[in-house]
Amino acid sequence: MSARQRQPESARPEGQEFEPFLDRQEVARRFQIGSRDLAEWLKNGVLPHFRIGGKIRFRWSEIEDHLNRHCRVPAVPPREDRT
């Protein structure tokens, strides 16, 4: 257990809750992709991640933020000339 996990709620900065790390299998499951696809995404820098003790770990909130900033396709405004 990390030092951050052991901190009592009152010792954490206000409004910040502990967010557990996710492993590769959980992230692949959430995206409904295989482990090879996830490995390719990591190789190409598609997802933010941590390397801790030789293991890859993720925070879902950071993945969502990254995707919203870099991968979101803007809404296409309706065309006026469609009838």
CA distances from 53 to 35, 59, 68 (A): 20, 16, 29
pTM, two decimals, is: 0.67
- Cα angle 13, 17, 23; round to 5: 130
Distance (Å, rounded) from C-alpha 57 to C-alpha 9?
23
Three-state DSSP at 52 gives strand
pLDDT in tens, 26-79: 999 999 999 999 999 999 988 999 999 999 999 999 999 998 888 878 788 878
Contact call for residues 69 and 63 (beta carbons, < 8 A): no
